[in-house]
Every structure is written in C-alpha cells, then in structure tokens.
Structure 1
Amino acid sequence: MINYVIKRFQHTFQPYEIVLARLLSKPSEKFHLSKPLKNGEVINTGNGPIRHEDVIGKPYRSLITSSKSSSHQYMLCKPSLEEYVVNKRRHAQPIYPLDASLIVQLSDVHADFPDMEFGPSIDVEKPASFQGLDLSDEYDLFLQGRLERRNIQVQQGIRTSAPPKQYLECGTGHGSLTLQICKAIHSGNAYYNGNDSTRGSILHSLDRNAKHLATGVKNLKHYDRGIYWTDVEFHLLSESEQGPSQWLYSPTATYYRDIVGRLADRPGGFLNGAFLDIPSPQDHLRSIAQHLVAESPLIVFVPSITQLWDCLQQIKTLGIPLSMTRVLELMSSSGGGGMREWDLRRTVVRETGKGSMVARPKVGIRVVGGGFVGIFKKLPADSFVRTWE
C-alpha cells in the first residue's frame, strides 16, 4: 500500500515512462515522443540526442538541452493520451482519440469492481452537505439497504459469483480505440490480483493482421507504464478463421478455454458490448449478436454510409435481434473529433409505392469528412421488432 501511495504522488519521470520533449522555442511544432525511458537509450532530436538517464528523475515540465547543443532547450512533458496515440508510429490507420472517445461514450460502457472482502465494515454517514436535500425516504432506504448488504458480505467474506463483464473489440489496429475502451472499464479491475474473482471487466481485442496486432499490443503496453495492460486479452485470428465470429470458438484463443468457453453457451449471452472496426461487418452481426446480453451495445465503425445500410439489410433479412438507435458521421478536422447525426432508414416512395432508402444528414449542410458510426442495441430474444416500416 505504501508503494502504491508513493506512486500516486510522484511528479517525476520514472523508468519505462513515456516523455514528450518539446523544443522550447517552438513547442507546438517541434517535439519528439520517446520510447519507454531506460538507461542507455536516447531521444533523437534534430539538435542531438537526449539521454534517457538524464530524463529519469526529473520533474514534469523540466527544461533540458541535448548533448550537442546547449542553445536548444526542450521541455519534458507527460504526453496526453491524444498526443501519445497521434505521434506513435503506425501500421494501421487509427481512429483518432477524440473520435474514439466519442464512440466509447456513445456506447455507455462502464464498470464496477466486484464485491470482495476488503476489511472491516464501515458505517458511512451522509455528508453534511446532503442533510438539507429533499431526498425520497424510499430511495434513501434503498441506498441504505445496498450499503448494509455490502457490509454483511464484507463481514462474512462473501464474494459475488457473477463473472466479469466481457467486451469484444474486432480490429485492434493501432490500439487507439482499445485504449479508450480500457479507460471506461479500468475501474472494474481496481483490485485485480490475477484471480478472476477479483476482476470486474475484460476487453477481448482481436485482429487478423499480426503486424497490426503487435502494434496495438505495444501501444497499449507502453502507455502510462502499462496501466491498462491487465484489462485486455489479445487474440490473433489464424488464416483459417474467417472473422470475429470464429473467435468465439477458436482453439487458438487462450482465454476461450478459461472463461469464454464456459460462458459462450450461457442463455442470454455473455458479451456486455462489442465494437467492430472491420471490413464487411454485416457478415458477423448474427454470430456476435447471439452472444450479446440484452440491451448491450454493438458499435460499428465504417468509412461509408452504405455499409451501415448493408448492416440494416442483413438485420432485416436474417431477423437478427438488433435495433439501430443512432447513425453519426465522424467529421474531418485537424485532429479528429466531432460528429453529425444522420437519418438512415427504409421508406416508401409515395408516387410508386416502392421501397427506398433515406440516407442523409439530419441537418442540411454539406457532407465532409470520413467515417460513420452505427449504434445498435441487442433486443431480447422474444421481442424482435421490425423497425423498418
């Protein structure tokens, strides 16, 4: 616990941390993202190298000069997640961080850690600032009941038998979306100690391209000294596995044998959310939907609006229990970020009576930028509703 507290209050660069060295005279134009800090390594700049050992132990925002030029000063900064993702070497086109964060926010993915034995129970009193609020007595009793049940579980050492929440990402790529999903679920693993009973959330991230997967793994592993490393199980699909649906039954998926294998046939599904950034996502909707828990989100990211139409066609043709709730366009800009809502639906031409498609922005302005996000929700098995007419 002492080491953990010390780490929380450190404000100096530590081994294996990433640093962004900004040229002080042009901090927004000239900067260099380091590898994980390690003795013997250097940050190569146009004005000579900066040794990693000269950075380790320095406070954030310190100034330093390269070994060849004392006239060029660099400010040592802790990079934001956006700066980290945008400036990492890439083998696959990333979903830019602002867009990726919006996608995760729209999915409403969140997590809590499982109930465990943390120590003696604590009688938590309502803060003084709440005393004057007009809260419902019934609701206060409900909250008090939750607290009492949790205290009883703590005293008796009872742990919930519920499995951790499971999320699926198809298309690891650069790892940008992976990192954003981990931000949302990381709190569920606050007390993870290697035992799955202490794990609240798991992200399964898979890719068919070994080079892309290796890049995504490295980018996640190096970010903030591996803070999200234990939140993800990575899977590489073999050439014989045609898509993410095959991963559910793949013998090469190591985690399948431990957790997924026990849950894949569970009535009502076992996935609490899925994110698809792959070609032809419509071909995998049925197999993934059958493993989604009711009301769980399925997020599809595609470059063309017609690909979302293909998804809708597949849902209707095969009777897949999914309902599209929103369609949004990712707007192009210098760093990504921003969305515009679209109207995508089936309609009937009044003059001819024939079916047609409506695909247009919900506001009447020029279409720019690239990328569309379709948000689907899993319907209960006995309540598939045709939402086309």
Structure 2
Amino acid sequence: MDALIGRRMMDRVKDSAGRDVFIYEPSMATYIVHSEHRAVPIYPHDANTIVAMMDLHPERPGEVYDPADEPFEVFEAGTGAASLTLHIARALHAGNPSLGRRLREAIPTAKTTAIHRPSKSDESAEGAVTTTTLASLDLGDPSLREEAEAYLPTRRAILHTLDRKALHSFEAHNLVRRFRRGIYLPNIDFHTGSISSYLTPRLASRNGRPFLSRAVLDLPSPEDNADPVISALRPNGTLIVFSPSISQIAGFAAWSVEGAKPLKLDRVAELPTSSSAEYGVQECEGGRAWNLSTTVPKGEDGEDGGGRRVVQIMRPRVGDRIAGGGFVAVFRKMNERVGEDAAGVAEEVSSEDVADEGIPVEVEKNDDSPKDDSRNV
C-alpha cells in the first residue's frame, strides 16, 4: 500500500511477488465486481442489458422535457449491492446540471458520520421511510450543505432507489460515493422502507397524478408490491421486472391480466449466463471473452546478449464460476381507459384462446373441424 501513495495513473510498481503492476483507474464493471457485497450484485453485463432495455433518454439541462416541465424520475425497488443503481445513475448523469467546483471536490472526502450506520437486521419500521441525499453528507462547511440543498431541486433526472434493509442502503450509498470521487452520487436519492410507504404519500401530495417515467422491480415476488409502482408510473412509462426464474416472470404477467392492471407486456428476454468471472468485468453485452497476453519464456531474457523470443498466448477464456443470468420483462403503462378495455377482453376469452404473444384474442371455433392437440398455448 505504501508503494501506491503519491503515484500517478499508469505508474509502474512492484507487487508482493516482485511482479510489475501498472496503476490505473478501474472501470465501473471492475469496481463493482471486486467490491465487497452483502447482497448478490447484478453483474455488469446484465446491468448494461437492463439499462439498455429501459430506453433512457433524459433531456439535457435547458431543454424542454415535457409540458409540465417535470424531472425525469426513475424508481428502483431493491437497491441491493447497488450495481444496477450505478449503471442507471450513469445513464441519467447528462440530464443534470453540473455541481459547483467546491461542492464537487468536497464529496469524496465528506464524512458519513451524519448518516446512521444500521445493524445487520435493522429494517425500517412500517410506514417510516428514511431518505439519504447529497445534502445528508457531512460536508464540513455549512455553506456547502446549503449549496447541496439548493442543487437538489434543480435536477432534471433523478434515480430513487429503495431497499427494505437499512444496511443495504447505507453500504450502497458508500459504494456510489467512492466510485470516481462520487461523480454519480448527486443523481440518486436512497430510500429505506417499504414501496407503499414511499410512493403512496408522494402520489397523495400530487392528487394521484403519476410522476415516474421508469421503474425497476428487483424483488422475490414483484406482484406483491407492484400496485403503488403502477399507480405512480406515467402512461407509456416502462416497468422492468427482473427475476432469476421465467416462472416468476410468467406469474407476474398472469397477475397483471387477472387483476386488470393497465400494463402491456412489451417483451421478455433471457440474460446470458457467463462461465467466466472476467466476462462479468467486461462491460459488454455479448461476445466471447479471450485471453490475449504476451510473454517471454523463462531462460530467454536476453541476459547472454542474445535476442528475446516473444510468445503470444491467444485462446478463449475458460470460466471458473457461473455469473449472471436471469430474465427481464418489459411492460408499458397504458392509459387507464385502455387498460379497462383490455381487461374486459381478457375476461371474455378463455385461457386456451390466449395467443403466444400473451394478447387475448377471439378465436372462431368450428365443431366440425378436426382437433389439433399439438397446439402450443
């Protein structure tokens, strides 16, 4: 560690085995994979795919976002290890105004003593929601806190991430703050509590007018907590459901139809599993990882005056563990009237007449026609 103090990026130092090591700033993927986690992270290649499916396009500061001129708000239920949190915050970053220089430089060294560190089993009391923002940091100078509080209402793209466990939220906050000197921290509000306890009062304060443009449910039983999220989602807003099992996705889709929810299933995709830990580090959405290295065989270092023989090793990377995978469903929020019409159609059609795409359709039956038992439903 002493050898690293005072060094610059791309300086070369020796590790404990005497090997040359170059210093460089880690990518987001490397940072996430090699950080300590209490919760299992969404691996970077999966997080990249989910963010792409969210189709995020926040307007730049000064551009008209919508007639109401309201911010672009994203809600993530299930902060966990904050891997997806960081990826979403990066996608929203260009939609916010810049921080003042003093405030930006104060974030990496700010103390978190103002933020209570909870115990492992600590959960928010029912009905209570704790929120941590940029202004929650102990920035030292009171004027910086005032600047942080003044900055928050000017944001045009905001990620609200919520977890039931206070310890997850606390450690996620620290993970985000330590990456690239807290560059994405101002974009995020961290909430601890239940989904209903956070969203229901906000909806009430707006007389039921929705405010979310995107939402992500990364929960064991998403249908148990989806109602307030659907209510807070704007028409044509996107709801992402991430689950490790396709049966959970199917269960949520069935719950949506049976409960006449104003949702339209857009698509379902399976995330690729990786047999290599390194594949999770690479910020790619496909392709096979390869080993490519250059070395000099032992005994051919040229000490006897002869030339060195350089050998290149090129081969596919073989895995040492299975990482990532799961299923992602994309739903779009319909207008309430359209949702009611779709629900009426669903009630009139039996389950055996549901098309492969999951859209209820009327099928004309003819009793004289031969039966085809091979038809897949």
Q: TM-score range, shorter-chain basis?
A: 0.5 to 0.7
Task: After TM superposition, give the deviation of residue 110 of structure 1 in Å.
Answer: 2.0
Residue number among 89, 93, 97 corresponding to 1:190 in the alignment: 97
**Which of 283, 286, 295 matches 2:227?**
286
206-215 vs 373-382, which moves further: 206-215
Where does 1:252-331 land on structure 2 (aligned, <5 Å)?
262-263=205-206, 265-267=207-209, 269-331=210-272
Query: Of residues 19, 44, 48 in structure 2, which corresponds to 1:97?
Result: 44
User: 1:163 Cα deviation (Å)?
Assistant: 2.3
The CA distance in 2 between the partners of 1:187 and 1:293, in whole Å, is: 22
1:83 is paired with a residue whose SS is helix
Using the size of structure 1 for normalisation, the TM-score is 0.60
| Matches of 2:170 and 2:71, distance apart in 1 | 26
Note the 1:29-68 alignment, pairs <5 A: 49-55=1-7, 58=8, 60-65=9-14
What is the deviation of 1:338? 5.0
Amino acid at match of 1:312: A
Matching residue of 1:388: 360
Paired letter, 1:63: R
Deviation at 1:388, TM superposition (A): 3.3
> Aligned pair in 2 of structure 1 residues 223, 261: CA closer, same or farther (>3 Å)?
farther
| Deviation of the 1:100 alpha carbon | 0.4
CA contact (8 A) 1:164 1:196 kept: no
Query: Is 1:246 aligned with 2:246?
Result: no
Q: Contact (CA 8 Å) 2:236, 2:332: kept in 1 or not?
A: yes
CA shift, 1:380, in A, is 1.0
Structure 1 Cα separation of the partners of residues 200 and 226 of structure 2: 16
Report the alpha carbon displacement of residue 196 of structure 1 after superposing the two structures with TM: 4.7
**206-215 or 312-321, which moves further after superposition?**
206-215
CA separation of 1:78/1:369 partners in 2, compared to 1, >3 Å: closer, same or farther? closer
Q: Is the 8 A contact 2:82 2:172 kept in 1?
A: yes
Deviation at 1:195, TM superposition (A): 3.7
- The equivalences for 1:1-389 within 5 A come to 49-55=1-7, 58=8, 60-65=9-14, 71-115=18-62, 162-191=69-98, 194-196=150-152, 198-237=154-193, 241=194, 244-249=195-200, 262-263=205-206, 265-267=207-209, 269-333=210-274, 334=276, 335-336=279-280, 370-384=325-339, 385=342, 386=346, 387-389=359-361
- Please list every run of 5 or more consecutive structure 2 residues that lacks an aligned counterpart in the other structure: 101-149, 287-322, 347-358, 362-377
CA positional deviation for 1:86: 0.6
Which amino acid in the other structure matches residue 19 of structure 2? H
For residues 136-168 of structure 1, what are the alpha-carbon distances to aligned partners after superposition, in whole Å with 9 as ceiling and x for unaligned?
xxxxxxxxxx9xxx9xxxxxxxxx862211110
Conserved 8 A contact 2:214-2:239: yes
Distance across 2 between alignment mates of 1:372 and 1:96: 13
Contact 2:3 / 2:13 at 8 angstroms: preserved in 1?
no
CA distance in 2, matches of 1:54, 1:114: 37
Aligned-partner Cα distance in 1 for 2:330–2:168: 25
Residues 109 and 185 of structure 1 are in contact (CA less than 8 Å); yes or no, is this contact kept in structure 2? yes
Amino acid at match of 1:388: P
Q: Report how far residue 51 of structure 1 moved.
A: 4.6
2:200, 2:223 → 1: CA distance?
Answer: 19
Question: TM-score scaled to structure 2, two decimals?
Answer: 0.61
**Post-superposition shift, 1:95?**
0.6
Instruction: Give the deviation of 1:52 after TM superposition.
Output: 4.7
- Aligned residue type for 1:78: E
Give the gaps of 5 or more residues in structure 1: 1-48, 117-145, 151-159, 251-255, 340-367
Question: In structure 1, what residue type is equivalent to 2:77?
Answer: C
Q: Deviations over 1:172-214 (max 9, x none)?
A: 1111100111111111113467345531111100101222222
CA positional deviation for 1:273? 0.5
Aligned length: 253
Answer 1 or 2: higher relative contact order, Cα 8 Å, separation at least 6. 2
Instruction: Work out whether residues 42 and 84 of structure 2, in 8 Å CA contact, stay in contact via their aligned partners in 1.
Output: yes
Percent of residue pairs identical: 33
